[in-house]
Amino acid sequence: MTNRTAHHPAFTYLRSEFIEALNVTVQEFEHTVTGAKHFHIASDNDENVFLVGLKTVPTDSCGVAHILEHTVLCGSERFPVRDPFFMMIRRSLNTFMNAFTSSDWTAYPFASKNKKDFHNLLGVYLDAVFFSRLDELDFSQEGHRLEFAEPTNPESELTFKGVVFNEMKGAMSSTTSVLWQTLTKYLFPNNTYHFNSGGEPSDIPDLSYQDLLAFYRTHYHPSNAVFMTFGDIPVETLQAEFEEKVLSRFERLDTQVSVPNAKRYFSPIRVEEGYAADEVKEDGSHVVVGWLLGESIDLTQQFEAQLLSNVLLDNSASPLRRVLENSDLGRAPSPFCGLEDSNKEMSFMCGLEGVKRENTTKVEALILSTLEGIAQHGVPQETVDAMLHQLELSQREIGGGSYPYGLQLILAGLSTAVHSGDVIAQLDLDPVIEAMREKVRDPQYIPNLIQNLLLSNAHRVTLTLSPDDALETRRNQAEKDRLSRIKAALSDEQKADIVARSEALKARQSQVDDMSILPKVGLEDVPASLPVYDSEKVSSDLPITFYPQGTNGLVYQQLVIDLPELDEEETEHLPLFSSVLTELGIGDQDYLAVQERQSLVCGGLGASNSIRATIEDRQDLNGYFILSSKALVPNVKAMSELLKDTMMNVRFDEIARVKELVAQRRARREQSITGQGHSLAMTAASAGVSGLSARQEQWGGMSGIRSAIALDDAMKADNAAVENVMTVFKRLHGKLLTAKKQLLLVAEPQHEASVLDNAQTVFADLPQGDSQAAFALAPVDTRVKTAWLTATQVSFCSKSFRTVSGDHPDVAALNVLGGFLRNGFLHRAIREQGGAYGGGASFDGSSGAFRFYSYRDPRLTETLADFDASIEWMLNEEHSAAALEEAILGVIGSMDKPSSPAGEAQSDFYVKLHGRSLEYREAFRANILAVTIDQLKAVTKAYLTKENESVAVVTSNARRAELESLGFDIQTL
């Protein structure tokens, strides 16, 4: 073990602490000259993570911090190329690269398992952040600009363009985003949280280039920065690079960027605003009550608020959530129920959506009276103990998924670091949990928190957000009027300047940079083979597969059931069945008792389905139903009994509960559209490729959202609709009980014997089914041309092409083609020139669909034309070996992206279960590495043809006439 206090002489060592629950050592340093902080989380993990965070404090809603985040990544002193960030994505084996703008900080993180790659990226990131070029043309591309609809014709219509401008138009089409920004505007009347740090589309054009430069000079300085790292690279090595590449060139700033505390109200306020909607529904309002609490960097205050929030709202048995879920005043609890602790001052909020506007005071009274009742009567001790148990479990779990584990730890401490709090205490929650165990023995502890933090807190805002079907029209007209006024005031010289700037930006976007100045990894740096995971298969009446993994004291358990043949109704309701199964009662326990039982013994139960096409035929399927959970080692037996009990004895008589769950599911699905529009468009465009693709659209696409709305309406109108679904559930459940089953277990190797013994004992009498007819779907092979219209200011476009799947020799080239088209053509055409937030192409090897997409796109027909133009570009241009290598690296990087230890074991289990053996995956990897440009051209010519093409868009009602003229099948929710 190296000396954990060893460090570079330019830094002062402050302290370090080993955190047993995380198995890491957290070290804190300060750069002696500039005062920059460095927190290093030393771990044996070889996925190293870097983040530099800066306190960024906007004083308006022009989006300066957000636009600066984008523009900073457009070239720097050492790397004066147009787009080093996206270029490095292509030249890297990174496991994560991004940049974030929060309410009061901006962060630039990346991660990589390859040391050479890590240091390459570190050099580019450090130079980008602290020595950015900030070219005015990049500001006009990423932020906003004036441009004529016909760029070279000053008599054509004047428009606003810009990546962030359109990104925020998309973001603020989301009702939940509007709800959040509106509530925080009133909760924080006088500081930075009052404003939209991402930028309000109506305000973004007010930001000048000089404003951007001034903000950069005052905020992007080491004295205002915190460096955070994770992994096995020695801290002195990291600090040497910080010092050499950045810190040695700066002195300490005299002025400090700070966030003043919010001005406090002396009495609660009520406010009302509107959100854009296609129609005004009587019960379309959101009502949220929010309180401003204490400072988040005070760990005691933060933990008390978190505990209180969990006790009140964690699950359906929690007293406040239970009242909200059962209230007839609204359709479902608000998406904003709980504690927000990432700002300097915390806020707690709760409410309902689907409310009649005139019932605002009733919702407010319901919440306050519920809190008063809980404060008067207290909370059962086991409820409080269960919430402490959940906090301990979440503290110990090694995460995975979208963010690397190290980055999750860093982000957990970032806000505290930015506001000069105790990062080590923030990450080491065990002492706080132990202290809380003593405090909660006082039966008045939770009631006192309710009284002090909420009931006696005058800084309370009740917000009503109501649908306005004319808002979008007024907003669009205001933008048109503004542009008309600007154009009317333009001189001929100013018009010529706009045209010249458009031409200059187009020329800049089309220039070919010397990419050799950027560092890179090559195919020679790609790991030679895939990792092999140890596992043991135990033969018994119930087959068991055990994976020994470093899970930090947790055990993961999944009951895997072969999906049997289902009828149409059972197939239609399969996802709903999976989402409600673990939310219902068991035996003589109602769902409230089961929710409390889950919280006491495990990290919750979940049910899901794993359905994939076979390698041989996209229309032929393997399907599995999965019931899963996780628990700390001492609770394994209780978890296993709960999982088994849920599968065997679930109740299908709680009609009111199912109605609640369907209403909540509808709300979540409706809210997902503007955030997941590109995925929904791709799902719709691919619906004709196979039976599974068609069913995925019906389950999880726009058709699925429409079905969720219809089912909720039907259940509200008539209990017979609920009873019919319950009957289907019972049939489905009966079929699963008689199907073949197996068990997957993941735990630390030293617990293998006890975990296996527990499983064999608890599940000994679980009924094991025989082979029977397997789950199947009718084949589908058709073309699609569909437009879904909804309330959005931007579009999401997709084209899908039916290709080949499984182990066909062309699958490798089709995988590489997506990245090749994105890197070489689509990124420039759709994002930089078209102004969309994103665009690209990808290949789904299971369904055999090659899909183009755009995200938060101001255009529609032009983007669809760009998809076609990229095909022509691929076929008719000469392409370089370097571009091919970059595309191959992208595919390999996504294949090799690590997950959590448990996640990697589970992934290994399921790829094998679906017939993708290690030998198959190694061969596929070798084929990817061997793809040639000739192969890319060949698959493009063979498959990306009009005969194989389907199109789908998700866009606004304003586009209806345009889409009808193009022959789209128009669909609405």
Give the residue numbers annotated as catalytic, written as ranges. Answer: 69
d(CA 526, CA 529): 9
- Amino acid making up residue 298: D
- Amino acid making up residue 153: N
Q: Are 66 and 215 in contact (CB under 8 A)?
A: no
Q: Are 803 and 849 in contact (CB under 8 A)?
A: yes
- For 844, half-sphere exposure in the C-beta direction (CA atoms, 13 angstrom radius) is 22
- Amino acid making up residue 531: P
Q: Are 475 and 334 in contact (CB under 8 A)?
A: no
Q: Are 866 and 826 in contact (CB under 8 A)?
A: yes
CB atoms < 10 A from the CB of 187, how many?
24
CA distances in angstroms from 73 to 126, 131, 336, listed in the order given: 11, 10, 32
- Amino acid making up residue 448: N
d(CA 144, CA 901): 43
Nearest 5°: the CA angle 488, 489, 495 is: 85
| 27-52 residues labelled b (16+ CB within 10 A) or e (exposed) | bbbebebbbbbbbbbbbebebbbbbb
- Whose CA is closest to 907, among 528, 397, 557, 533? 533
- Angular region, 680: left φ>0, alpha ψ -120 to 50, beta rest: alpha
List 788's β-bridge partners, or say none: 954, 971
What are the tokens at 233? 């690279």
Q: Are 731 and 572 in contact (CB under 8 A)?
A: no
Sign of the four-CA dihedral 313, 319, 322, 327? negative
Sign of the four-CA dihedral 956, 960, 962, 968? positive
CB atoms < 10 A from the CB of 831, how many?
25
d(CA 498, CA 145): 9
Q: Which residues contact 864 (CB under 8 A, 6 or more apart)?
A: 797, 799, 951, 953
- For 939, half-sphere exposure in the C-beta direction (CA atoms, 13 angstrom radius) is 27
d(CA 839, CA 798): 10
- For 471, half-sphere exposure in the C-beta direction (CA atoms, 13 angstrom radius) is 20
The residue count for the chain = 973
- Amino acid making up residue 293: L
Sign of the four-CA dihedral 294, 299, 302, 305? negative
**Enclosing H/E stretch for 390:** helix 381-396
- Whose CA is closest to 341, among 464, 457, 193, 215? 193
Kindly give the pairing relationship between strand 285-295 and strand 460-468. antiparallel
Backbone φ and ψ of 234, nearest 5°: -60, 145
Helices 918-929 and 811-821 sit at what angle, rounded to 10 degrees?
Answer: 50
- Whose CA is closest to 629, among 648, 608, 650, 611? 608
- Amino acid making up residue 802: R
d(CA 848, CA 264): 58
Kindly give the pairing relationship between strand 460-468 and strand 269-276. parallel
Backbone φ and ψ of 461, nearest 5°: -120, 130
List 292's β-bridge partners, or say none: 347
